[in-house]
């Protein structure tokens, strides 16, 4: 399905207040009577002109006087909301293949840059495909047998395809991010379990609900044998989308609830698995689907929450589901950039505003993009999107290009660490076109991300209790501010 939206070195200079080799410096705000300086905050900026790309800026003063003449936002770090699990992208079969083709030095440099908190941008969450997707080297599941045959006991089950590229790359990732969380999603059940007898389209035949539940258990245990923990699964990627062009499978809300309550949930329980089950995993435009699944009490007892994509509808749908089921978690699991939208500034603002600020302000515990890495031809592809953009692009010689998605991710992943809590922050007047979100990390560090979508620089104040920080947010830019 066509997606319809839309070497940076993270070393000591990012933590320096005086080293400006990585981009021009944002001018300080005009003077006002601010009171006494009682501390400082660090700030990093990416702007639409690309003059600053996660560039460290001079530190900001924290004042003991909260009076201000500037537009302000109030932050209350004592009013805490959802816990953040992490930020990242999908290690698709294609992404794993592209990374595995790099030489050892190139590969390690890329993985360090993507996953090291100290020396890189600290990605902390990955999505995997259970079997093939439209970004795999070929069609496959873990139990492919001749047409007309069945394998009720899954005797032919094998993750050999993943052992070629996905698992080795994952094991390298764990060296930099040992606590990384993983959510896995199937694009299709094995063809013999489906009413279509094909990987492309069709639905899961109810007679194989039990076998398909066992399939998930085998998958999780097979990965565990390689030292990889699957934190969560969704029963089906994009259950409302079917095509014959690559592996897909339709699954109505009623079917999903039935599969979870009659097979997947009990199977996990019997196997002693703590892997979370996350419902839906499709676009914002159908919140009635997860509401329906969660409304089935028998199914809901096994369900941790629901997941969303951003190829249709509005991010506020996540809040709609939260309002209906406030005890259930929310996740954002996919959106892709591509050659249909190439303007860096527009993509920076759309992604930060809708995906990273938008989803977290609407209760999401994570924010994941689609392919982590693709080659210069936007692939390898497997029958789906032919012009999708990865977080990074890797050339045939191993040269890495960091795309706009890299910087959008970095402004969150490096500074908002797993276990952080989103906290209460007010909104600026709509006329300013400035969005914000704030967090507190487990080490007590405070983070605010500001997005200025306007074409003018805006001087604002961040008010925390009796203190404030003044900052001039330049036009068409995102700034991450961190302080203790």
Q: Write the Ramachandran bin of 145: left for phi over 0, alpha for psi from -120 to 50, otherwise beta.
A: beta
Give 187-228 pLDDT, tens digit per residue.
999 999 999 999 999 999 999 999 999 999 999 999 999 999
Place of tokens 């990585």: 22
pLDDT at site 52: 98
3-state secondary structure of 202: strand
pLDDT at site 23: 61
Let me know whether 376 and 459 are in one domain.
no
CATH number of the domain that residue 304 is part of: 3.20.20.80
Residue 186 tokens, joined: 């199937």
Query: Which of the residues are catalytic?
Result: 238, 334
CATH number of the domain that residue 77 is part of: 2.60.40.1180
Decide: residue 295, CB within 10 A, 0-12 exposed, 13-18 middle, 19+ buried.
middle
Let me know whether 383 and 459 are in one domain.
no
Give 64-94 pLDDT, tens digit per residue.
999 999 999 999 999 999 999 999 999 999 9
3-state secondary structure of 206: helix
Give 355-376 pLDDT, tens digit per residue.
999 999 999 999 999 999 999 9
Q: Per the domain annotation, does 411 fall within a domain? A: no
Among residues of the chain, what percentage have pLDDT more than 90?
A: 93
- How high does pLDDT run on average in the chain? 95
What does residue 483 show for φ and ψ, rounded to 5 degrees? -155, 165
Q: How many CB atoms lie within 10 A of CB 286?
A: 18
Q: Per the domain annotation, does 119 fall within a domain? A: yes
Cα(123)–Cα(106) distance, integer angstroms: 18
Let me know whether 174 and 284 are in one domain.
yes
Mean pLDDT of 403-425: 98
Q: Per the domain annotation, does 360 fall within a domain? A: no
Model confidence at 33, in pLDDT bands (50, 70, 90)?
confident
Let me know whether 436 and 473 are in one domain.
yes
Round to the nearest angstrom and report the end-to-end CA distance of the chain: 45
Cα(231)–Cα(366) distance, integer angstroms: 13
Give 451-472 pLDDT, tens digit per residue.
999 999 999 999 999 999 999 9
Residue 294 tokens, joined: 């969660």
Secondary structure E strands in 137-198: 181-186
Residues 6+ apart with CB under 8 A from 102: 110, 394, 398
Distance of CA 36 to the CA centre of its chain: 40
Q: Per the domain annotation, does 442 fall within a domain? A: yes
Model confidence at 258, in pLDDT bands (50, 70, 90)?
very high
Q: Per the domain annotation, does 25 fall within a domain? A: yes
Cα(247)–Cα(384) distance, integer angstroms: 9
pLDDT at site 9: 32
Q: Per the domain annotation, does 352 fall within a domain? A: no
Let me know whether 27 and 96 are in one domain.
no
Residue 235 tokens, joined: 């029963």
Let me know whether 69 and 184 are in one domain.
no
Let me know whether 285 and 147 are in one domain.
yes
Q: How many CB atoms lie within 10 A of CB 269?
A: 12
Residue 8 has pLDDT above 60, yes or no: no
Place of tokens 């560090």: 445
Give 131-188 pLDDT, tens digit per residue.
999 999 999 999 999 999 999 999 999 999 999 999 999 999 999 999 999 999 999 9
Count of the separate structural domains present in the chain: 2
Model confidence at 26, in pLDDT bands (50, 70, 90)?
confident
Let me know whether 318 and 432 are in one domain.
no
Let me know whether 73 and 201 are in one domain.
no
* Strands of the 125-130 sheet, one edge to the other: 329-334, 303-309, 276-283, 232-233, 181-186, 125-130, 86-90, 366-371
Model confidence at 231, in pLDDT bands (50, 70, 90)?
very high
Residue 294 has pLDDT above 50, yes or no: yes
Q: Per the domain annotation, does 410 fall within a domain? A: no
pLDDT at site 432: 97
Cα(1)–Cα(381) distance, integer angstroms: 12
Q: Per the domain annotation, does 456 fall within a domain? A: yes
Mean pLDDT of 386-396: 98
Q: For residue 464, what are the domain limits? A: 12-81+422-483
pLDDT at site 381: 98
Residue 75: is the preceding peptide bond cis (ω within 30°)? no
Whether the CB-CB separation of 428 and 451 falls below 8 Å is answered with no
Mean pLDDT of 299-319: 98
Of residues 298, 300, 263, the one with CA closest to residue 278: 300
Cα(466)–Cα(40) distance, integer angstroms: 15
Mean pLDDT of 324-348: 98
pLDDT at site 287: 98
pLDDT at site 236: 99
Let me know whether 184 and 243 are in one domain.
yes
What does residue 40 show for φ and ψ, rounded to 5 degrees? -145, 160
Let me know whether 288 and 316 are in one domain.
yes
Let me know whether 307 and 372 are in one domain.
yes
Of residues 98, 192, 179, the one with CA closest to residue 142: 192
């Amino acid at each position: 399905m066509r997606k319809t939206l839309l070497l940076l070195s993270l070393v000591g200079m990012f933590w320096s207040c005086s080293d400006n080799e990585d981009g021009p410096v944002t001018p300080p705000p005009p003077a006002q009577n601010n009171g006494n300086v009682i501390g400082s905050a660090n700030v990093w900026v990416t702007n639409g002109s690309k003059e600053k790309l996660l560039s460290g800026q001079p530190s900001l003063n924290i004042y003991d006087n909260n009076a201000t003449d500037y537009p302000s936002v109030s932050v209350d770090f004592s009013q805490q909301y959802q816990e953040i699990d992490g930020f990242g992208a999908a290690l698709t079969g294609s992404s794993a293949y592209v990374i595995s083709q790099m030489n050892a030095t190139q590969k390690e440099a890329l993985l360090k840059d993507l996953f090291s908190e100290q020396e890189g941008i600290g990605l902390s969450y990955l999505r995997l495909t259970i079997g093939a997707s439209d970004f795999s080297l070929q069609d496959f599941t873990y139990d492919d047998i001749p047409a007309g045959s069945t394998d009720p006991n899954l005797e032919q089950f094998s993750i050999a395809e993943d052992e070629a590229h996905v698992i080795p790359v994952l094991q390298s990732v764990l060296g930099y991010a040992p606590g990384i969380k993983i959510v896995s999603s199937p694009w299709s059940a094995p063809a013999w379990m489906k009413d279509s007898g094909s990987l492309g389209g069709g639905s899961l035949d109810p007679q194989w609900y039990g076998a398909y539940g066992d399939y998930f258990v085998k998958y999780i245990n097979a990965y565990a044998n390689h030292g990889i923990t699957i934190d969560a699964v969704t029963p089906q990627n994009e259950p409302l989308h079917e095509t014959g062009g690559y592996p897909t499978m339709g699954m109505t809300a009623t079917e999903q609830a039935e599969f979870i309550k009659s097979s997947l949930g009990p199977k996990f329980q019997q196997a002693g698995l703590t892997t979370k089950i996350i419902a839906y995993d499709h676009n914002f435009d159908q919140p009635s689907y997860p509401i329906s699944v969660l409304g089935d009490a028998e199914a809901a007892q096994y369900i941790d929450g629901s997941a969303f994509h951003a190829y249709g509808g509005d991010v506020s749908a996540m809040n709609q589901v939260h309002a209906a089921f406030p005890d259930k978690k929310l996740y954002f699991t996919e959106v892709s950039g591509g050659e249909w939208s190439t303007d860096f500034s527009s993509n920076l603002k759309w992604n930060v505003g809708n995906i990273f600020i938008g989803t977290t302000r609407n209760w999401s515990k994570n924010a994941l993009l689609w392919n982590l890495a693709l080659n210069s031809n936007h692939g390898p592809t497997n029958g789906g999107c032919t012009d999708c953009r990865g977080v990074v692009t890797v050339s045939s010689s191993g040269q890495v290009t960091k795309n706009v998605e890299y910087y959008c991710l970095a402004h969150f992943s490096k500074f908002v660490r797993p276990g952080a809590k989103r906290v209460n922050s007010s909104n600026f007047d709509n006329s300013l076109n400035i969005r914000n979100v704030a967090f507190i990390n487990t080490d007590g560090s405070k983070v605010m991300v500001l997005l200025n979508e306007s074409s003018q620089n805006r001087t604002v104040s961040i008010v925390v209790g009796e203190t404030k920080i003044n900052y001039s947010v330049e036009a068409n830019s995102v700034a991450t501010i961190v302080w203790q």
